[in-house]
Structure 1
Amino acid sequence: MTPTTRISAAGSAAAAPATDEGSARALTGKRRIAFASFVDENYLPGFLALLRSLALSNPDVCEDFIVLHDDLRPSSIARIRALHPRIVLRRVDADHYDSYVKGDQDNYLVRKAYFILDIFRVRDYDTIITLDTDMVVLGSLAELLSLREGLAAVPQFFYGQHKLNSGLLVIQKEYLTDAFCAKIDAIGQAGTYELDKHDQGILNALLDGDFLRLDPKYNFVKRRLSGNLPVPEDTAILHFTGRHKPWQGGESGYELAQERWAGFDLTDAELHAAYLERPGTLHHDLLVHFGTPHVERTGDVDIARKVALAHIGAGDYQAAVDIMERVHIPVDEAWPHEAYGHALMSVSRYEEARAQLLLATAAPNRAATAFARLAQIAWVHGDDATGQKYAMAGLGVDPTHRAARIWQQRTLGGVPAQQQTSPEDQLAHVAFYMDRQGNAGDKLLPESVRLAFNPDTTARRWHSVHAHRLFDEAALERVNARKGLVIGGGGLFIPDTMPNGNSAWQWNVPDELLNRIDVPIAVYAVGFNAFDGQSYRAERFRSSLRQLVERAAFFGLRNHGSIAKVRAMLPDHLHDKVRFQPCPTTVTRQLVEGWRDPAERDDTILINAAYDRAGLRFGHDYGYFLAQMADAAKRLGDLAEVKVVAHSLDDEKIAFDLRREHGVSLPVIPMYDFENDEIRDLYARTKLVIGMRGHAGMIPFGCGTPIISLISHPKMAYFLADIDRPEWGVSVHDRHLADLLVERSRDLLSDHAKTVADVHGRQQELWKITEANAADLRTILGG
């Protein structure tokens, strides 16, 4: 689904993007993957062992698990849910299969074996992996999760390569259709298949060998081990085919195989302990699901810490506090104190956080991190001298500690002196003021917002209020002495960059102080920046948001997608206050005094990739993305010189990975070191920018440069919808990513002058809206 929102001077969307999770996935193209099994009471013990084996063998994997069933008892469902946090129950249409011609009517499976075919009627996923309930998972399923095309299965053991074993299927969305289901029904109702093979017979009759063949290790049938052979080490999925199931006593001659199954016949407590002891990365959902009851049962401090850090990583800071409050932390256990302190500061319980972090400084291996967090708390409270002291202490423990270095630099020298000017002539400006070597887009934003109000962006006309510093009584007094307050620049509606418990978004403002601001408030070009799969502390954020909208004289969001998201959180009577104000970076050519378009452009294509919250951006597809970008980079080199432009230090990763994994070497431009004029100049002089960050699209566009967006976040699609150019975006998950990038780049570059004129035309529409809003703002805030 591609959004078709059009620009209108009135700032309303003809068809604003929907706000549910499904629409977000449609915008980003992120694949939705699920496992699936048919489960009944007779096979429940096998399915429970399957779930345990999946968690223990793939501890970093947790996708939806669809449980098809015809009549599971509530107690059975509870046992299933205890083993997996993302169970999706679907009752099969059992009567539908009564019309199928079947074989031996005395066979228990003659009816239920067909029920797994109901999975082809599911429409909510891009990839579904079906598993028989008499399987256990012994190895990595990463290869299966990365499959993107076709219907994959292991060929049958006894019948050669032409027929599949349906115990494991990897089904892509082109098979999850009404047309494919109609073909299944036609064969089933006609009986033109091997009747004694049930669902497998129908699929083989339908596919006639047209399936993707997988290595036998992904469906290693028990019969391969006749004579009590050991299970091969590389077996990923062991399948106990035949009548004698392990939970029913098994079969003579397969004792070694059945021992592997018995290894997953665990109590819940045994499973929790085994999972939590696994080395490597543990999936957040499973860690929380198994770790929480384990902590409640045992009081295990180290597991509480791991669960708390998982909550922190997902932005659920109160849950992190809650789990740490359930355990007693010994005084000399530094790491739990540090994690608890981190959680407490994230919900603005600063005094308690200080106490926990000071305890953590006693251990050399945690001291640098603890001191850096103490420096951060001091800085948040405006105490740069104390912040500097803590940051230097952290560097004294570890001179290479990045966070300690950042806080040492940020607290150095205190707050810059404001120019002598009358406060009544100034506007206060709440923004995220980026550090040196910080994100280039965020560095440019505060100045861009100010340019939308006045060519003078200096302290003579503006009083800076850093969004991340606690807005206290002194800050309130300073703001109320100015003629107005502008809040803007960037995706401030995001929960996790600098979390706080006062607002649950980026401005650290308590409700009571927000309500005492008595100068006009203008919220300007703010974005709703939550990723697909990311959530806020809903009630705290909603309450803070509502008060902000009520208090604001102007409330402008930078795309219609953000407008839809925010309106959905507000009562109806406040909806009309939320209007469209494009990001000022998108109209840079109109704002920068004396702007001149370049007479000539460099023969370059600049590529940007972002790595913050990589799991939310790429899911299981990073390897695929990288391979596609390597292919694209080679072919784009025929059109122009390809370079990587890094908005932040982490953005350089794509250059390292392309060279290491694919032998593709690209020069890197460290834009994080650039001044604002240098950023604008570079983007104005290149021919094309292919960018993943929002401002790797909006800034070059604002400079008049054609763009293609690598969409890994809904905001990219929102912007392209607003300018009526959705074709300028390609999902990082797209099956034909490289081909599309090369094709669209060639199209945009083939008549570059025409493309640039199109960019200018799109920009002019945004400028009309900006000018109309500026007239209202002059009335609200004064000239």
Structure 2
Amino acid sequence: MTATHISSPVPATARTAAPASDEGSARALTGKRRIAFASFVDENYLPGFLVLLRSLALSNPGVCEDFIVLHDDLKPSSVARIRALHPRVSFRRVDADHYDSYAKGDQDNYLVRKAYFILDVFKIRDYDTVITLDTDMVVLDSLAELLSLREGLAAVPQFFYGRHKLNSGLLVIQKEYLSDEFYARIDQVGRSGSYELDKHDQGILNAVLDGDFVRLDARYNFVKRRLSGDLPVPEDTAILHFTGRHKPWQGGEAGYDLAQERWREFDLSDADLQAAYLGGGGTMHQDLLIHFGTPHVERTGHVDTARRVAHAHIAKGDYQSAVEIMERVHIPIDEAWPHEVYGHALMSVSRYEEARAQLLLATSAPNRAATAFARLAQVSWVHGDDGAAQQYALQGLTVDPTHRASRIWHQRTIGVPAQQQGSPADQLAHVAFYMDRQGNAGDKLLPESVRLAFDPDTTNRRWHSVHAHRLFDEPALERVNARRGLVIGGGGLFIPDTMPNGNSAWQWNVPDELMSRIDVPIAVYAVGFNAFDGQSYRAQRFRDSLRLLVERSAFFGLRNHGSIEKVRAMLPSHLHDKVRFQPCPTTVTRQLVANWQDPVKRDDTILVNAAYDRASLRFGHDYGYFLEQMARAVRELGDLGDVQCVAHSLDDEKIAFDLRREHGVSMPVIPMYDFENDEIRDLYARTRLVIGMRGHAGMIPFGCGTPIISLISHPKMAYFLRDIERPEWGVSVHDRNLADVLVERSRDLLADHAKTVADVHGRQQELWRITQANAADLRAVLGG
């Protein structure tokens, strides 16, 4: 049964804005919900809590939210036992004395006193959704519905004294209740005693809410007493609650044997839990797989578990940890998959020769050969050997003609034009991410846009291309030092995982020793700090490389002030002033492209873009909600124009497929990934409005003079809108009223389109002024 909402969930006095401490954080910018579980735990109920944690992991293997442990006094050994069962626990001591002022039915009973301590959950301010679980519960099924709830205070109703009231064993609490005002109401009722004293914390909440809560199905808090007479636990029970005096870890109670058997299923040793988790089915959360798999590997040396743990580390961008877990096990020569994963990890930390050996071993198995050959092609390409890369890619395609990675590496190595020689003294070297055919349209346009900011001639006559992802070696150094300068720019290069390497830990694969020997002026131009909320770097390697780059640069410009703040935080104070603002050149396209003409007439279209790379970081548990809201929005936007999907990459087409499959909403798809640069600019210049999730689905149309609304799932979107002083042109993909906000803002921007376009032009003019001022400094540095 789906939860139903009763009345207005919260009085006006309980609604609060995000705390000031959230300002400037990635989460505050993206609006991504932070979710936590919470329980009050003491030594007497510790056995129940340990079983609860085990059952949560085994019944929901793909869920790993923070777990807040409220306590009044736990032993260090108990803390260690809890930590062994969950990788993201945090401990918060309750203000026990505070509840002594509450009126109670029995002041001297320690259980009665502690029953109130869970109310400390309403003091939490750093989460958007908190799910409380009593320690005498066991989780038996998926909690996905609870994790997707976004409004109100939800609980299972039970029949007490002729009325339905909530059972407080499980609460799903949204941010509007995690406020000083709501906690003050709890305090007032508790101190006055105007509640059912024998119901303790539950009595207080029922008195405060007076029936105004979201009703959940009983399966989410199925109380033991419903099974009296040794009835079996219903198959659809999600959470079984052992209410009453007799707890399973204390011997249980007669008449409930079948229920207590379900509890005992999770009364496991740590080793048995690890084995049960790793042997279970379904999608496993990377953090849980690492948490349970690492000690299992240390204890057993199990190769396949090491492979799975390493793969989880790779997915999280922690390549060194992936290498280390594989180094702990002996891999049989005929076990291809572990060799392939180990090779992947090694190449990601730039241990290339060792990676080759592992990947060659992996080619022996048909089911892993294509992937292994593709990685061997990548290693060869990174080292500048196009011939070997092409041969490896062909071998991958021979094994599997449909293998996409092998096809990409093959295409990258055929028909590569030789760089025009000309006079090196007249050229600038240019480090950028040069996108492949059918690659991301925004990244395809970027290198040319950067070059336009320096010279109207963007060809190899004036530029020497240096692909950021290729190893910067001695010959590359010699070629760069023969030019009149080096420009680094053309993408969010400060991101750890697009093409990982161990030399810099960002996208330019440059060893420190070679960077130190670049003797021409270096200009870092409009680079972005592109880490997602929840994504991290190999901190020290990145910091060291970044510091050296800033020290060696004559000009160091980042494309938004958010990136500037992030980078300055990683640098010593004496380097802060070297980091300056240089807008992305795509945002001033109208000023850079020769003979630019604004369209006389625009198409009656609204272009929608959604991004799906790193989807879990973008959407969290809210993708279903996002899709439902976008279906509503697309239907209503159809009254304002012809709504079309614009795909910067192949994956961006997913929104069109999902909207049609899930909601019956159709949109034509424009494959922008197949467009040339002039076609990209032309399309964005001719439309009336672009609603985009990718950074350059906002910046490119803006630069072409077209109004935009950003679907914010990454901090960089908010950074850009903040820089142009139009934060209202963005809406979080997690916004509670996403469809309504999106349609309303679209309607506002389109109501007087000429005025809106003029506003875009005005915002752009300020970015152009900064770009021109920086250009004067760059001419002094680079000449030309």
What's the TM-score bracket when you normalise by the shorter of the two chains? over 0.9
Tell me the SS of whatever aligns to 2:643.
strand
The corresponding residue for 2:396 is 394
Partners of 1:558 and 1:581 within 8 A in 2: yes
The corresponding residue for 2:510 is 509
Tell me the SS of whatever aligns to 1:491.
coil
Q: State the distance in 2 between where 1:751 and 1:283 align.
A: 48
Identity %: 86
Pairing 1:751–2:752 present: yes
Partners of 2:130 and 2:174 within 8 A in 1: yes
Question: Is the alpha carbon distance of 1:314 and 1:20 closer, same or farther for their aligned partners in structure 2, counting shifts above 3 Å?
Answer: farther
Matches within 5 A, 1:402-417: 402-413=404-415, 415-417=416-418
CA shift for structure 1 position 420:
3.7
CA shift for structure 1 position 681:
0.1
Matches within 5 A, 1:426-575: 426-575=427-576
The corresponding residue for 1:772 is 773
The corresponding residue for 1:197 is 199
Q: State the distance in 1 between where 2:568 and 2:185 align.
A: 44
Q: State the distance in 2 between where 1:283 and 1:572 align.
A: 39
Question: Is the alpha carbon distance of 1:232 and 1:665 closer, same or farther for their aligned partners in structure 2, counting shifts above 3 Å?
Answer: same
The corresponding residue for 1:86 is 88
CA shift for structure 1 position 20:
8.6
Matches within 5 A, 1:265-284: 265-284=267-286
Q: State the distance in 1 between where 2:419 and 2:470 align.
A: 17
CA shift for structure 1 position 107:
3.5
Matches within 5 A, 1:607-622: 607-622=608-623
Matches within 5 A, 1:103-118: 103-118=105-120
Tell me the SS of whatever aligns to 1:669.
strand
Q: Which runs of 5 or more residues in structure 1 are unaligned?
A: 1-17
The corresponding residue for 1:12 is none
Normalised TM-score (structure 2) = 0.97
Amino acid in structure 1 at the alignment position of 2:97: D
Matches within 5 A, 1:581-592: 581-592=582-593
Tell me the SS of whatever aligns to 1:72.
coil
Please, which of 129, 148, 151 is the counterpart of residue 150 of structure 2? 148
The corresponding residue for 1:355 is 357
**Relative contact order: is structure 1 or structure 2 higher (C-alpha 8 Å, sep ≥ 6)?**
1
Amino acid in structure 2 at the alignment position of 1:445: L
Q: State the distance in 2 between where 1:240 and 1:159 align.
A: 21
Matches within 5 A, 1:124-139: 124-139=126-141
Partners of 1:690 and 1:697 within 8 A in 2: yes
Pairing 1:38–2:40 present: yes
Please, which of 181, 205, 208 is the counterpart of residue 206 of structure 1? 208
CA shift for structure 1 position 19:
11
The corresponding residue for 1:225 is 227
Matches within 5 A, 1:684-703: 684-703=685-704
Amino acid in structure 1 at the alignment position of 2:513: E
Matches within 5 A, 1:592-741: 592-741=593-742
The corresponding residue for 1:4 is none
Q: State the distance in 2 between where 1:406 and 1:297 align.
A: 40
Partners of 1:694 and 1:716 within 8 A in 2: yes
1:170-208 Cα distance to aligned partner (Å, 9 max, x none): 000000111111110111101011101000000011111
Tell me the SS of whatever aligns to 2:135.
coil
Partners of 1:70 and 1:91 within 8 A in 2: yes
Q: State the distance in 2 between where 1:298 and 1:317 align.
A: 22
Partners of 2:99 and 2:116 within 8 A in 1: yes
1:672-701 Cα distance to aligned partner (Å, 9 max, x none): 000000000000000000000000000000
Partners of 1:230 and 1:257 within 8 A in 2: yes
The corresponding residue for 2:17 is none
CA shift for structure 1 position 411:
1.3
Amino acid in structure 1 at the alignment position of 2:725: D
The corresponding residue for 1:175 is 177
Q: State the distance in 1 between where 2:212 and 2:107 align.
A: 30
Q: Post-superposition, which runs of at least 4 consecutive aligned residues in structure 1 deviate over 4 A?
A: 18-22, 157-161
Q: State the distance in 1 between where 2:239 and 2:615 align.
A: 28
The corresponding residue for 2:7 is none
Partners of 1:155 and 1:161 within 8 A in 2: no
1:528-565 Cα distance to aligned partner (Å, 9 max, x none): 00000000000000000000000000000000000000
Q: State the distance in 2 between where 1:364 and 1:294 align.
A: 29
Partners of 1:635 and 1:742 within 8 A in 2: yes
Question: Is the alpha carbon distance of 1:161 and 1:758 closer, same or farther for their aligned partners in structure 2, counting shifts above 3 Å?
Answer: farther
1:47-94 Cα distance to aligned partner (Å, 9 max, x none): 000000000000000001010000001110010011001111110000
Q: State the distance in 2 between where 1:108 and 1:181 align.
A: 23
CA shift for structure 1 position 104:
2.4
CA shift for structure 1 position 280:
1.9
Normalised TM-score (structure 1) = 0.97
Matches within 5 A, 1:216-365: 216-365=218-367
Question: Is the alpha carbon distance of 1:160 and 1:366 closer, same or farther for their aligned partners in structure 2, counting shifts above 3 Å?
Answer: farther
Partners of 2:22 and 2:28 within 8 A in 1: no
Partners of 1:162 and 1:208 within 8 A in 2: no
Q: State the distance in 2 between where 1:301 and 1:87 align.
A: 28
Tell me the SS of whatever aligns to 2:342.
helix
Q: Which runs of 5 or more residues in structure 2 are unaligned?
A: 1-19
Q: State the distance in 1 between where 2:419 and 2:664 align.
A: 51
Tell me the SS of whatever aligns to 1:163.
strand
Q: State the distance in 1 between where 2:23 and 2:42 align.
A: 31
1:284-306 Cα distance to aligned partner (Å, 9 max, x none): 11111111101000001000000
The corresponding residue for 2:9 is none
Amino acid in structure 2 at the alignment position of 1:176: L
Partners of 1:21 and 1:532 within 8 A in 2: no
Amino acid in structure 2 at the alignment position of 1:670: P
Amino acid in structure 1 at the alignment position of 2:384: G
CA shift for structure 1 position 110:
1.3
Question: Is the alpha carbon distance of 1:563 and 1:160 closer, same or farther for their aligned partners in structure 2, counting shifts above 3 Å?
Answer: farther
Q: State the distance in 2 between where 1:468 and 1:324 align.
A: 25
Partners of 1:157 and 1:221 within 8 A in 2: no
CA shift for structure 1 position 731:
0.2
